[in-house]
Amino acid sequence: MRNSITRVVTSANFLESLTILELCETSGTPPIPIVTLPYLRKLQVKFCCTRPDFLINLRIPIIEEIQMVSYHDRGSLLSTLTEILTNSSGSSPLKVLRFRTHAVQMGQLPDLLRLTPHLIHLNMPLPHESDIEALVTQPIVPCLESCEFFVDDVAFMSHDRGRAAALNNLASSRCEMHRPGPFPDPARLRSLELHFDRSRWIPKQKTTLEGWEPAPASLGASEYLRGLRLALHEEVPELELCPLRRRKKFDKRRVGKVKEILNLVEGFDWVEVGEIYVRVVLSLLACLKGLTARQPDFGDSPFAQKFE
């Protein structure tokens, strides 16, 4: 209910977990007063139309997990988190941080992460290039083991080569074996993931990250291979995993035609790794979409659990 969160946080001092699904305070509601929740370990908040600084006076000295989502914060979510952690304790015991926000200003992330030396898992929108580099060149978040970045704009990432290079540098520096350097070895980053809203963006993003430049002849080669694929599917429709309208008999003419197509495929010696990868990914996505649409209902059988 509106204007009730202040009463909750100022009276429930023994809370260990606090989840606020829709924080929709009125614009005239002042921030909560300075209050300490000494036993709070988990905090989840979704700011609907309320600015995050509504909770700026919260003190959570032993917090271990924070998850926040804000839609209209204009960049104040990270500054609010920084303020909360600064006033909560000298070195926050925070281990898990997940947040979504439309605006992450350059330099905000390193300032926040310097307060969380025990952080193990980070899930956030894709940060700026210099902020990604801070995870490599500075001894912040030395315990980080899992890092997930969310990309919500394909055009934004596709034209940003510096950010792609910074991600590759982060992977080579933190995911591989430790290398000599001026700082103590941080924990190995066991998981580095990029998340996208739409699966059709994945091939384009992969091409950007790997630095694959489309060759002038790639379109012609692609169309040539596509023609061979269509010809092969015409002779062997079973390869498309689609219901057959009419089964074809494998006679000598058909076998010879299939061999002719396969010989053309085998004799094709100009190959681009990026082209192969993109084609395979698109094919797999199409197959998975088809399998999902035709997924049978196995109930509670052991096979159902295995299938999932």
Sequence-distant (≥ 6) Cβ neighbours of residue 203 within 8 angstroms: 277, 278, 281, 282
Residue with more model confidence, 189 or 63: 63
Confidence of residue 5 (pLDDT cuts 50, 70, 90): confident
Give mean pLDDT, residues 108-127: 92
User: Is the pLDDT at 131 greater than 50, yes or no?
Assistant: yes
Confidence of residue 156 (pLDDT cuts 50, 70, 90): low
pTM of the model: 0.66
Report pLDDT for 120: 95
User: Is the pLDDT at 152 greater than 80, yes or no?
Assistant: no
Residue with token string 């399998």: 291
Confidence of residue 225 (pLDDT cuts 50, 70, 90): confident
Give the integer Cα–Cα distance in Å for 98 and 149.
10
Residues of the chain above pLDDT 70, percent = 66
Report pLDDT for 48: 81
- The CATH code of domain 5-210 reads 3.80.10
Are 104 and 127 a contacting pair, CB within 8 Å?
yes
- The full set of domain ranges for the chain reads 5-210, 218-295
Lowest model confidence (mean pLDDT) among 31-40, 161-170, 292-301: 292-301
User: Is the pLDDT at 36 greater than 90, yes or no?
Assistant: yes
Range with the largest mean pLDDT of 243-247, 267-271, 283-287: 267-271
User: Is the pLDDT at 203 greater than 90, yes or no?
Assistant: no
Report pLDDT for 53: 87
Range with the largest mean pLDDT of 100-104, 196-200, 247-251, 275-279: 100-104
User: Is the pLDDT at 295 greater than 50, yes or no?
Assistant: no
- For the chain, give the DSSP string: -TT-HHHHHHH-TT-SEEEEEEE---TTPPPPPSEE-TT--EEEEEESSS-GGGGTTEE-TT--EEEEEESS-TTHHHHHHHHHHHHH-SS----EEEEE-S---TTHHHHHHTT-TT--EEEEE---HHHHHHHHHS--STT--EEEEEE--HHHHHT-HHHHHHHHHHIIIIISS----SSPPPPP--EEEEEES-GGGHHHHHHHHHTPPPPTTHHHHHHHHHHHHHHHHHH-GGGGT---SSPPP--HHHHHHHHHHHHHHHT-----HHHHHHHHHHHHHHHHHHHHHT----TT-HHHHHH-
Report pLDDT for 297: 40
Residue with more model confidence, 300 or 243: 243
User: Is the pLDDT at 215 greater than 80, yes or no?
Assistant: no
Residue with more model confidence, 271 or 14: 14
Q: pLDDT tens-digit profile of 77-103? A: 999 999 999 998 778 999 999 999 877
Mean pLDDT of the chain: 77
Confidence of residue 140 (pLDDT cuts 50, 70, 90): confident
